[in-house]
Structure 1
Amino acid sequence: MRTQRLSRLVPAAALALAALLTSCAAPADGARPLTGDEAQRLALARFRMYRTGTATMDLRIAAPGGTTTVHAVVDHRAHRAVGWYGTEDTSGTDGAPGLLAWSREGLAVARPGTYGAPAAAPSTTSPAAPPPARDALRAAARVDSAAWTRRPYARTPLDTALQLALALSADRPDNAQLLAQSGPLHLRDDTIDGRPYAVLSGPRPRPAASTAPLTGRSPVTYWIAADGAVRRVTARLGDARTVTLDLTGEQVRGSLPKGPWDRK
Protein backbone atom coordinates (compact mmCIF):
# COMPACT_ATOMS: atom_id res chain seq x y z
CA MET A 1 0.00 0.00 0.00
CA ARG A 2 1.10 3.51 -0.66
CA THR A 3 2.50 5.67 2.12
CA GLN A 4 2.55 9.44 2.23
CA ARG A 5 5.28 11.09 0.26
CA LEU A 6 8.11 12.76 2.13
CA SER A 7 8.67 16.34 1.09
CA ARG A 8 10.92 19.27 1.92
CA LEU A 9 9.66 22.16 3.87
CA VAL A 10 9.54 25.76 2.87
CA PRO A 11 9.93 28.90 4.94
CA ALA A 12 9.81 28.14 8.67
CA ALA A 13 12.07 25.47 10.09
CA ALA A 14 9.36 24.74 12.64
CA LEU A 15 7.32 23.04 9.92
CA ALA A 16 9.90 20.26 9.60
CA LEU A 17 7.64 17.63 11.13
CA ALA A 18 4.64 18.56 9.02
CA ALA A 19 6.85 18.37 5.95
CA LEU A 20 7.35 14.66 6.47
CA LEU A 21 3.64 14.07 5.96
CA THR A 22 1.53 15.82 3.39
CA SER A 23 -2.00 14.72 4.30
CA CYS A 24 -4.44 16.76 6.38
CA ALA A 25 -7.44 15.73 8.44
CA ALA A 26 -10.66 17.49 9.24
CA PRO A 27 -10.47 19.67 12.36
CA ALA A 28 -11.48 17.85 15.53
CA ASP A 29 -14.65 18.87 17.37
CA GLY A 30 -13.79 21.61 19.85
CA ALA A 31 -10.48 22.45 18.19
CA ARG A 32 -9.46 26.10 18.31
CA PRO A 33 -6.51 28.30 17.29
CA LEU A 34 -3.59 28.45 19.71
CA THR A 35 -3.30 31.12 22.34
CA GLY A 36 -0.11 33.16 22.44
CA ASP A 37 1.22 31.02 25.30
CA GLU A 38 0.47 27.78 23.43
CA ALA A 39 2.15 29.08 20.27
CA GLN A 40 5.21 29.98 22.32
CA ARG A 41 5.23 26.50 23.87
CA LEU A 42 5.13 24.90 20.43
CA ALA A 43 7.83 27.25 19.14
CA LEU A 44 10.17 26.23 21.97
CA ALA A 45 9.43 22.50 21.79
CA ARG A 46 12.13 21.45 19.33
CA PHE A 47 14.77 23.68 20.93
CA ARG A 48 13.95 22.24 24.33
CA MET A 49 14.36 18.76 22.87
CA TYR A 50 17.76 19.75 21.43
CA ARG A 51 18.88 20.88 24.87
CA THR A 52 17.87 17.51 26.31
CA GLY A 53 20.81 15.96 24.45
CA THR A 54 20.72 12.17 24.45
CA ALA A 55 17.57 10.49 25.77
CA THR A 56 15.40 7.40 25.41
CA MET A 57 12.42 7.22 23.07
CA ASP A 58 9.88 4.53 22.23
CA LEU A 59 8.54 4.35 18.67
CA ARG A 60 5.43 2.39 17.73
CA ILE A 61 4.36 1.98 14.10
CA ALA A 62 0.91 0.41 13.80
CA ALA A 63 -0.39 -0.98 10.52
CA PRO A 64 -3.14 -3.43 9.52
CA GLY A 65 -0.64 -6.29 9.23
CA GLY A 66 1.06 -5.79 12.57
CA THR A 67 3.05 -3.43 14.75
CA THR A 68 6.73 -2.49 14.74
CA THR A 69 8.33 -1.11 17.89
CA VAL A 70 11.71 0.55 18.39
CA HIS A 71 13.14 1.17 21.87
CA ALA A 72 15.82 3.72 21.15
CA VAL A 73 18.43 6.11 22.46
CA VAL A 74 18.34 9.33 20.42
CA ASP A 75 21.07 11.97 20.31
CA HIS A 76 18.96 15.05 19.63
CA ARG A 77 22.03 17.19 18.89
CA ALA A 78 23.87 14.88 16.50
CA HIS A 79 20.55 13.64 15.01
CA ARG A 80 21.54 10.00 15.34
CA ALA A 81 19.95 7.08 17.16
CA VAL A 82 20.30 3.39 17.96
CA GLY A 83 17.68 1.00 19.26
CA TRP A 84 16.15 -2.44 19.51
CA TYR A 85 13.40 -3.12 16.99
CA GLY A 86 10.86 -5.87 16.73
CA THR A 87 7.60 -6.73 15.00
CA GLU A 88 4.40 -8.18 16.31
CA ASP A 89 1.38 -9.55 14.49
CA THR A 90 -1.80 -11.23 15.66
CA SER A 91 0.18 -14.33 16.67
CA GLY A 92 2.54 -12.42 18.96
CA THR A 93 6.15 -11.21 18.86
CA ASP A 94 8.11 -12.19 15.77
CA GLY A 95 11.55 -13.35 16.91
CA ALA A 96 14.28 -11.72 18.99
CA PRO A 97 14.86 -7.95 18.86
CA GLY A 98 17.15 -6.65 16.12
CA LEU A 99 19.65 -3.81 16.40
CA LEU A 100 19.01 -0.68 14.35
CA ALA A 101 20.82 2.65 13.92
CA TRP A 102 19.80 5.69 11.91
CA SER A 103 20.74 9.27 11.06
CA ARG A 104 19.52 11.95 8.66
CA GLU A 105 21.26 10.12 5.80
CA GLY A 106 19.62 6.73 6.26
CA LEU A 107 19.52 3.65 8.45
CA ALA A 108 21.72 0.66 9.27
CA VAL A 109 20.85 -2.79 10.63
CA ALA A 110 23.40 -4.88 12.50
CA ARG A 111 23.95 -8.38 11.12
CA PRO A 112 22.44 -11.03 13.43
CA GLY A 113 25.05 -12.79 15.51
CA THR A 114 27.35 -9.76 15.74
CA TYR A 115 25.87 -8.52 19.01
CA GLY A 116 24.66 -10.19 22.17
CA ALA A 117 21.09 -10.59 23.25
CA PRO A 118 19.61 -7.58 25.04
CA ALA A 119 19.64 -7.52 28.81
CA ALA A 120 16.60 -8.75 30.67
CA ALA A 121 13.74 -6.27 30.72
CA PRO A 122 13.40 -4.35 33.99
CA SER A 123 9.88 -5.71 34.45
CA THR A 124 9.11 -9.06 36.04
CA THR A 125 5.38 -8.72 35.51
CA SER A 126 5.39 -9.26 31.78
CA PRO A 127 7.56 -11.70 29.81
CA ALA A 128 6.95 -9.55 26.74
CA ALA A 129 8.38 -6.37 28.33
CA PRO A 130 10.70 -4.54 25.90
CA PRO A 131 14.49 -4.66 26.31
CA PRO A 132 16.08 -1.58 27.88
CA ALA A 133 16.82 1.10 25.29
CA ARG A 134 20.10 1.92 27.04
CA ASP A 135 21.33 -1.61 26.34
CA ALA A 136 21.15 -0.89 22.60
CA LEU A 137 23.88 1.71 23.08
CA ARG A 138 26.22 -0.85 24.60
CA ALA A 139 25.36 -3.51 22.03
CA ALA A 140 25.96 -1.16 19.09
CA ALA A 141 29.38 -0.22 20.48
CA ARG A 142 30.42 -3.88 20.25
CA VAL A 143 29.46 -4.27 16.58
CA ASP A 144 32.22 -3.86 14.01
CA SER A 145 31.55 -1.19 11.38
CA ALA A 146 31.61 -3.85 8.62
CA ALA A 147 28.74 -5.72 10.29
CA TRP A 148 26.18 -2.99 9.59
CA THR A 149 23.98 -3.18 6.50
CA ARG A 150 23.23 0.38 5.40
CA ARG A 151 20.58 1.81 3.09
CA PRO A 152 18.95 5.18 2.35
CA TYR A 153 15.43 5.86 3.53
CA ALA A 154 12.55 4.31 1.64
CA ARG A 155 8.89 5.32 1.55
CA THR A 156 7.75 3.00 4.36
CA PRO A 157 5.99 3.75 7.66
CA LEU A 158 9.05 2.63 9.64
CA ASP A 159 11.39 4.90 7.70
CA THR A 160 8.98 7.82 8.12
CA ALA A 161 8.86 7.19 11.87
CA LEU A 162 12.66 7.13 12.14
CA GLN A 163 12.98 10.43 10.29
CA LEU A 164 10.23 11.94 12.42
CA ALA A 165 12.13 11.01 15.58
CA LEU A 166 15.17 12.97 14.38
CA ALA A 167 13.08 15.97 13.32
CA LEU A 168 11.91 16.61 16.87
CA SER A 169 14.88 18.82 17.75
CA ALA A 170 16.43 22.04 16.46
CA ASP A 171 19.33 24.16 17.68
CA ARG A 172 17.21 27.30 18.00
CA PRO A 173 13.61 28.18 18.87
CA ASP A 174 11.08 28.45 16.09
CA ASN A 175 9.19 31.64 15.33
CA ALA A 176 6.00 31.61 17.39
CA GLN A 177 4.29 34.18 15.18
CA LEU A 178 4.93 32.18 12.01
CA LEU A 179 3.78 29.03 13.75
CA ALA A 180 0.51 30.65 14.78
CA GLN A 181 -0.08 31.69 11.17
CA SER A 182 0.44 28.17 9.83
CA GLY A 183 -2.67 26.59 11.25
CA PRO A 184 -1.79 24.69 14.46
CA LEU A 185 -4.75 23.95 16.71
CA HIS A 186 -5.46 23.20 20.34
CA LEU A 187 -7.33 19.89 20.17
CA ARG A 188 -7.90 19.03 23.83
CA ASP A 189 -6.20 18.57 27.19
CA ASP A 190 -4.92 15.18 28.31
CA THR A 191 -3.05 13.48 31.15
CA ILE A 192 -0.17 10.99 30.85
CA ASP A 193 1.26 9.36 33.98
CA GLY A 194 -0.59 11.87 36.11
CA ARG A 195 0.86 14.95 34.36
CA PRO A 196 -1.34 17.33 32.32
CA TYR A 197 -0.57 18.12 28.68
CA ALA A 198 -2.05 20.30 25.97
CA VAL A 199 -2.69 18.28 22.83
CA LEU A 200 -1.77 20.46 19.84
CA SER A 201 -1.88 19.72 16.14
CA GLY A 202 1.25 20.90 14.36
CA PRO A 203 1.71 23.61 11.73
CA ARG A 204 0.86 22.92 8.10
CA PRO A 205 3.18 23.88 5.22
CA ARG A 206 1.47 26.21 2.77
CA PRO A 207 2.06 25.38 -0.91
CA ALA A 208 4.64 27.68 -2.49
CA ALA A 209 3.22 30.90 -3.97
CA SER A 210 -0.22 30.09 -2.59
CA THR A 211 -2.43 32.56 -0.76
CA ALA A 212 -5.31 30.14 -0.27
CA PRO A 213 -6.42 29.68 3.34
CA LEU A 214 -5.20 26.57 5.12
CA THR A 215 -7.81 23.88 5.65
CA GLY A 216 -7.97 20.75 7.78
CA ARG A 217 -5.26 20.07 10.33
CA SER A 218 -1.76 18.67 10.41
CA PRO A 219 -1.30 14.88 10.60
CA VAL A 220 1.24 15.49 13.39
CA THR A 221 0.01 15.96 16.98
CA TYR A 222 2.02 16.93 20.08
CA TRP A 223 1.45 16.42 23.81
CA ILE A 224 3.21 19.43 25.40
CA ALA A 225 3.43 20.27 29.12
CA ALA A 226 3.11 23.76 30.54
CA ASP A 227 6.91 24.04 30.75
CA GLY A 228 7.27 23.14 27.06
CA ALA A 229 8.38 19.53 27.52
CA VAL A 230 7.15 17.22 24.75
CA ARG A 231 5.86 13.91 26.06
CA ARG A 232 4.33 12.33 22.96
CA VAL A 233 4.11 12.91 19.21
CA THR A 234 1.77 11.03 16.90
CA ALA A 235 1.40 11.04 13.13
CA ARG A 236 -1.23 9.64 10.78
CA LEU A 237 0.23 8.07 7.64
CA GLY A 238 -3.03 7.03 6.01
CA ASP A 239 -4.23 3.50 5.18
CA ALA A 240 -4.80 2.83 8.92
CA ARG A 241 -1.11 3.42 9.64
CA THR A 242 -0.09 5.49 12.64
CA VAL A 243 3.16 6.42 14.35
CA THR A 244 3.49 7.13 18.08
CA LEU A 245 6.68 8.50 19.61
CA ASP A 246 6.85 8.45 23.41
CA LEU A 247 9.53 10.63 24.95
CA THR A 248 10.02 9.49 28.50
CA GLY A 249 12.47 12.23 29.41
CA GLU A 250 15.09 9.70 30.55
CA GLN A 251 18.46 11.23 29.71
CA VAL A 252 21.36 8.94 28.81
CA ARG A 253 25.04 9.60 29.45
CA GLY A 254 27.61 8.69 26.84
CA SER A 255 27.85 9.13 23.09
CA LEU A 256 26.54 6.99 20.28
CA PRO A 257 29.09 4.61 18.70
CA LYS A 258 30.65 5.51 15.36
CA GLY A 259 30.37 2.01 13.87
CA PRO A 260 26.98 2.33 12.15
CA TRP A 261 28.19 5.39 10.24
CA ASP A 262 31.84 4.42 9.73
CA ARG A 263 32.19 2.82 6.29
CA LYS A 264 35.87 1.95 6.63
Structure 2
Amino acid sequence: MTTFLVAGSGSDPTGPKELTSDQANRLAVTRFLNYQAGGRAVTIEVPGTAGGLTITGSIDYRGKIGYGVVRGTGRDTSSDGLIQWTATTVFVHPMTDPPAKAPARPPGSGWVSRPLQKYGSSLDSSLTIALKLGSDRPDNAELLPQNGAAWVGEDRLDGHQVDIMTGPSAARTTSARPTSGTAGAVPTTDTAGADAVRYWIGSDGTMYRVRVGVASASQPVVIDFDTQKYVPVRPVPGATPAR
Protein backbone atom coordinates (compact mmCIF):
# COMPACT_ATOMS: atom_id res chain seq x y z
CA MET A 1 0.00 0.00 0.00
CA THR A 2 1.36 3.42 -0.89
CA THR A 3 1.65 5.68 2.15
CA PHE A 4 1.61 9.45 2.33
CA LEU A 5 3.45 10.66 5.40
CA VAL A 6 3.13 14.24 6.58
CA ALA A 7 5.65 14.72 9.34
CA GLY A 8 8.77 16.62 10.31
CA SER A 9 12.31 16.05 9.10
CA GLY A 10 12.83 13.45 11.81
CA SER A 11 10.10 11.15 10.55
CA ASP A 12 10.82 7.63 9.47
CA PRO A 13 9.04 6.81 6.19
CA THR A 14 9.58 3.05 6.42
CA GLY A 15 6.02 2.25 7.52
CA PRO A 16 3.37 1.03 7.56
CA LYS A 17 4.23 -1.71 10.03
CA GLU A 18 2.16 -3.82 12.36
CA LEU A 19 1.68 -2.19 15.75
CA THR A 20 3.75 -3.55 18.60
CA SER A 21 1.92 -4.37 21.81
CA ASP A 22 3.19 -1.15 23.38
CA GLN A 23 2.10 0.96 20.41
CA ALA A 24 -1.35 -0.63 20.34
CA ASN A 25 -1.76 0.01 24.06
CA ARG A 26 -0.80 3.68 23.66
CA LEU A 27 -3.18 4.14 20.74
CA ALA A 28 -5.91 2.42 22.76
CA VAL A 29 -5.63 4.85 25.68
CA THR A 30 -4.90 8.10 23.84
CA ARG A 31 -8.52 9.29 23.60
CA PHE A 32 -9.23 8.12 27.15
CA LEU A 33 -6.31 10.23 28.42
CA ASN A 34 -7.92 13.31 26.85
CA TYR A 35 -11.15 12.49 28.69
CA GLN A 36 -9.29 11.75 31.91
CA ALA A 37 -7.52 15.12 31.70
CA GLY A 38 -10.92 16.81 31.52
CA GLY A 39 -9.94 18.99 28.58
CA ARG A 40 -7.10 20.02 26.30
CA ALA A 41 -5.98 23.22 24.62
CA VAL A 42 -6.15 22.88 20.83
CA THR A 43 -5.41 24.60 17.56
CA ILE A 44 -7.52 23.32 14.67
CA GLU A 45 -6.44 24.06 11.09
CA VAL A 46 -9.48 23.78 8.83
CA PRO A 47 -8.85 23.60 5.05
CA GLY A 48 -11.08 25.29 2.51
CA THR A 49 -11.15 26.15 -1.17
CA ALA A 50 -11.59 29.86 -0.38
CA GLY A 51 -8.88 29.83 2.29
CA GLY A 52 -8.58 28.10 5.61
CA LEU A 53 -9.78 28.73 9.13
CA THR A 54 -7.77 28.49 12.34
CA ILE A 55 -9.53 27.80 15.64
CA THR A 56 -7.53 28.38 18.82
CA GLY A 57 -9.16 27.38 22.07
CA SER A 58 -10.09 24.52 24.39
CA ILE A 59 -12.21 21.37 24.35
CA ASP A 60 -13.91 19.98 27.44
CA TYR A 61 -13.88 16.25 26.74
CA ARG A 62 -16.15 15.40 29.65
CA GLY A 63 -18.73 18.04 28.82
CA LYS A 64 -18.30 17.45 25.05
CA ILE A 65 -18.07 21.14 24.20
CA GLY A 66 -15.43 23.26 22.48
CA TYR A 67 -14.78 27.02 22.54
CA GLY A 68 -12.28 29.37 20.98
CA VAL A 69 -11.35 32.11 18.54
CA VAL A 70 -11.75 31.49 14.81
CA ARG A 71 -9.82 33.40 12.15
CA GLY A 72 -9.62 33.15 8.39
CA THR A 73 -6.26 32.32 6.81
CA GLY A 74 -5.76 33.42 3.22
CA ARG A 75 -9.35 34.65 3.04
CA ASP A 76 -11.50 37.60 4.14
CA THR A 77 -12.41 38.23 7.76
CA SER A 78 -16.13 37.45 7.45
CA SER A 79 -15.71 34.25 9.49
CA ASP A 80 -13.65 35.85 12.27
CA GLY A 81 -14.92 35.86 15.83
CA LEU A 82 -15.68 33.45 18.65
CA ILE A 83 -17.00 29.92 18.17
CA GLN A 84 -18.45 27.32 20.51
CA TRP A 85 -19.79 23.93 19.52
CA THR A 86 -21.38 20.75 20.79
CA ALA A 87 -22.11 17.50 18.97
CA THR A 88 -25.29 19.01 17.52
CA THR A 89 -24.95 22.81 17.46
CA VAL A 90 -22.49 25.51 16.39
CA PHE A 91 -22.58 28.95 18.04
CA VAL A 92 -20.74 31.85 16.39
CA HIS A 93 -20.11 35.38 17.65
CA PRO A 94 -18.86 37.49 14.70
CA MET A 95 -16.11 40.01 15.48
CA THR A 96 -14.21 42.31 13.14
CA ASP A 97 -11.12 42.22 15.37
CA PRO A 98 -11.20 39.08 17.53
CA PRO A 99 -8.81 38.81 20.49
CA ALA A 100 -5.77 36.53 20.45
CA LYS A 101 -7.48 34.35 23.07
CA ALA A 102 -11.15 33.74 23.67
CA PRO A 103 -12.40 35.43 26.86
CA ALA A 104 -12.73 32.95 29.72
CA ARG A 105 -16.37 33.98 30.15
CA PRO A 106 -18.18 34.01 26.77
CA PRO A 107 -20.17 37.14 25.93
CA GLY A 108 -23.76 36.99 27.14
CA SER A 109 -25.23 38.10 23.82
CA GLY A 110 -24.43 38.41 20.13
CA TRP A 111 -24.36 34.68 19.42
CA VAL A 112 -25.93 33.05 16.38
CA SER A 113 -26.63 29.31 16.48
CA ARG A 114 -27.14 26.72 13.76
CA PRO A 115 -27.24 22.93 13.54
CA LEU A 116 -23.88 21.21 13.06
CA GLN A 117 -23.74 19.75 9.54
CA LYS A 118 -22.85 16.10 9.03
CA TYR A 119 -21.96 16.42 5.35
CA GLY A 120 -20.23 18.87 3.05
CA SER A 121 -18.65 21.28 5.55
CA SER A 122 -14.95 20.98 6.33
CA LEU A 123 -15.47 23.29 9.34
CA ASP A 124 -18.22 21.19 10.87
CA SER A 125 -16.35 17.96 10.11
CA SER A 126 -13.31 19.43 11.89
CA LEU A 127 -15.41 20.37 14.93
CA THR A 128 -16.98 16.89 15.05
CA ILE A 129 -13.62 15.16 14.78
CA ALA A 130 -12.08 17.34 17.49
CA LEU A 131 -14.88 16.47 19.94
CA LYS A 132 -14.53 12.74 19.23
CA LEU A 133 -10.87 12.73 20.27
CA GLY A 134 -11.96 12.06 23.84
CA SER A 135 -13.56 8.85 25.11
CA ASP A 136 -14.75 7.79 28.57
CA ARG A 137 -13.05 4.41 28.24
CA PRO A 138 -9.93 2.99 26.58
CA ASP A 139 -10.30 1.36 23.19
CA ASN A 140 -9.62 -2.34 22.67
CA ALA A 141 -5.88 -2.68 21.99
CA GLU A 142 -6.27 -6.15 20.48
CA LEU A 143 -8.85 -5.00 17.94
CA LEU A 144 -6.89 -1.98 16.71
CA PRO A 145 -4.38 -3.85 14.48
CA GLN A 146 -7.09 -6.30 13.40
CA ASN A 147 -9.05 -3.35 12.02
CA GLY A 148 -6.21 -1.72 10.11
CA ALA A 149 -4.36 0.46 12.64
CA ALA A 150 -0.62 0.56 11.91
CA TRP A 151 2.65 2.32 12.74
CA VAL A 152 3.84 4.58 9.92
CA GLY A 153 6.72 6.61 11.31
CA GLU A 154 8.22 8.61 14.13
CA ASP A 155 8.78 12.30 14.63
CA ARG A 156 9.72 14.97 17.14
CA LEU A 157 6.91 17.43 17.80
CA ASP A 158 7.35 20.45 20.10
CA GLY A 159 10.11 18.67 21.97
CA HIS A 160 8.19 15.40 22.29
CA GLN A 161 9.33 12.17 20.65
CA VAL A 162 6.24 10.67 19.05
CA ASP A 163 5.12 7.69 17.02
CA ILE A 164 2.80 8.28 14.07
CA MET A 165 0.03 5.71 13.80
CA THR A 166 -2.98 5.31 11.57
CA GLY A 167 -6.31 4.65 13.19
CA PRO A 168 -8.47 1.67 12.24
CA SER A 169 -10.52 1.84 9.07
CA ALA A 170 -14.02 3.12 9.83
CA ALA A 171 -15.48 0.64 7.34
CA ARG A 172 -13.70 -2.33 8.91
CA THR A 173 -14.61 -1.15 12.40
CA THR A 174 -18.28 -0.90 11.45
CA SER A 175 -18.34 -4.39 9.97
CA ALA A 176 -16.40 -5.97 12.81
CA ARG A 177 -18.16 -7.64 15.73
CA PRO A 178 -15.91 -7.10 18.76
CA THR A 179 -16.52 -9.21 21.82
CA SER A 180 -15.47 -6.43 24.22
CA GLY A 181 -14.42 -2.82 23.99
CA THR A 182 -14.22 -0.80 20.80
CA ALA A 183 -11.81 -0.70 17.90
CA GLY A 184 -11.04 2.97 18.42
CA ALA A 185 -12.16 4.62 15.19
CA VAL A 186 -12.87 8.34 15.19
CA PRO A 187 -16.23 8.17 13.39
CA THR A 188 -17.33 11.03 11.17
CA THR A 189 -19.50 10.95 8.09
CA ASP A 190 -17.00 13.03 6.11
CA THR A 191 -13.68 11.16 6.49
CA ALA A 192 -11.95 10.23 3.25
CA GLY A 193 -10.06 7.03 2.54
CA ALA A 194 -8.94 4.02 4.54
CA ASP A 195 -5.84 5.87 5.76
CA ALA A 196 -7.75 9.02 6.72
CA VAL A 197 -6.74 9.38 10.38
CA ARG A 198 -3.21 9.70 11.75
CA TYR A 199 -2.19 10.22 15.36
CA TRP A 200 1.07 11.66 16.75
CA ILE A 201 1.35 9.89 20.13
CA GLY A 202 3.94 10.24 22.89
CA SER A 203 5.62 7.51 24.91
CA ASP A 204 2.91 7.68 27.60
CA GLY A 205 -0.01 7.68 25.16
CA THR A 206 -0.50 11.45 25.13
CA MET A 207 -2.04 12.73 21.89
CA TYR A 208 -0.09 15.66 20.42
CA ARG A 209 -1.46 15.91 16.89
CA VAL A 210 -4.16 14.36 14.75
CA ARG A 211 -4.42 14.68 10.98
CA VAL A 212 -7.63 13.66 9.25
CA GLY A 213 -8.52 13.63 5.57
CA VAL A 214 -12.08 14.78 4.94
CA ALA A 215 -14.12 14.26 1.79
CA SER A 216 -15.25 17.90 1.74
CA ALA A 217 -11.69 19.29 1.45
CA SER A 218 -8.62 18.61 -0.67
CA GLN A 219 -6.28 19.08 2.31
CA PRO A 220 -6.43 17.34 5.69
CA VAL A 221 -7.68 18.81 8.94
CA VAL A 222 -4.82 19.18 11.46
CA ILE A 223 -5.48 19.34 15.20
CA ASP A 224 -2.58 20.23 17.51
CA PHE A 225 -2.77 19.92 21.29
CA ASP A 226 -1.22 21.97 24.11
CA THR A 227 -0.62 24.92 21.77
CA GLN A 228 -1.53 27.26 24.64
CA LYS A 229 -2.82 27.00 28.20
CA TYR A 230 -6.06 25.10 28.67
CA VAL A 231 -8.93 27.30 29.84
CA PRO A 232 -12.06 25.58 31.21
CA VAL A 233 -14.99 25.94 28.83
CA ARG A 234 -18.05 27.88 29.99
CA PRO A 235 -21.17 27.27 27.88
CA VAL A 236 -22.67 30.26 26.08
CA PRO A 237 -26.31 31.06 26.84
CA GLY A 238 -28.40 28.41 25.12
CA ALA A 239 -25.64 25.80 24.83
CA THR A 240 -26.49 22.41 26.30
CA PRO A 241 -23.31 20.34 26.62
CA ALA A 242 -23.63 16.64 27.39
CA ARG A 243 -22.78 15.57 30.92
Counterpart residue number, 2:80? 97
Q: 1:178 to 1:96 in 2, by over 3 A?
A: closer
After TM superposition, list the pairs within 5 Å mapping 1:5-154 onto structure 2.
26-28=2-4, 30-89=15-74, 94=77, 97-110=80-93, 112=95, 118-119=98-99, 131-132=100-101, 135-138=102-105, 140=106, 142-144=107-109, 147-154=110-117
Counterpart residue number, 2:146? 181
RMSD across aligned positions (CA): 2.6
Separation of aligned partners in 2, 1:164 and 1:197: 21
**Distance apart, 1:221 and its partner CA:** 0.5
**Distance apart, 1:209 and its partner CA:** 5.3
Counterpart residue number, 2:225? 247
**Distance apart, 1:143 and its partner CA:** 2.1
Alignment check: 8 A CA contact 1:82 1:137 kept: no
Alignment check: 8 A CA contact 1:41 1:227 kept: yes
Separation of aligned partners in 1, 2:203 and 2:66: 27
From 181, 195, 199, the equivalent of 1:218 is: 195
TM-score, length basis structure 1: 0.72
**Distance apart, 1:153 and its partner CA:** 1.7
State the SS of the aligned residue for 2:47.
strand
**Distance apart, 1:190 and its partner CA:** 0.5
Counterpart residue number, 2:166? 201
Counterpart residue number, 2:234? 256
Paired letter, 1:226: S
Separation of aligned partners in 2, 1:102 and 1:163: 9
Counterpart residue number, 1:3? none
Alignment check: 8 A CA contact 1:204 1:218 kept: yes
**Distance apart, 1:41 and its partner CA:** 0.4
Alignment check: 8 A CA contact 1:62 1:242 kept: yes
Q: 1:199 to 1:101 in 2, by over 3 A?
A: same
Separation of aligned partners in 2, 1:198 and 1:181: 19
Alignment check: 8 A CA contact 1:34 1:180 kept: yes
**Distance apart, 1:94 and its partner CA:** 2.7
Separation of aligned partners in 1, 2:31 and 2:174: 24
Identity of aligned residues (%): 28
Q: 1:178 to 1:161 in 2, by over 3 A?
A: same
Separation of aligned partners in 2, 1:150 and 1:63: 21
**Distance apart, 1:223 and its partner CA:** 0.1
**Distance apart, 1:217 and its partner CA:** 3.9
**Distance apart, 1:236 and its partner CA:** 1.2
Q: How many residues matched? A: 212
Alignment check: 8 A CA contact 1:68 1:86 kept: yes
- Structure 2 unaligned segments of length 5 or more: list them: 5-13, 178-192
Paired letter, 1:194: G
Runs of 4+ in 1 over 3 A off after TM superposition: 25-29, 207-211, 249-255
Q: 1:210 to 1:256 in 2, by over 3 A?
A: closer
Q: Which of the two has higher C-alpha Rg?
A: 1
- Structure 1 unaligned segments of length 5 or more: list them: 1-24, 120-130
Separation of aligned partners in 1, 2:174 and 2:226: 36
Separation of aligned partners in 1, 2:213 and 2:70: 20
Q: 1:39 to 1:69 in 2, by over 3 A?
A: same
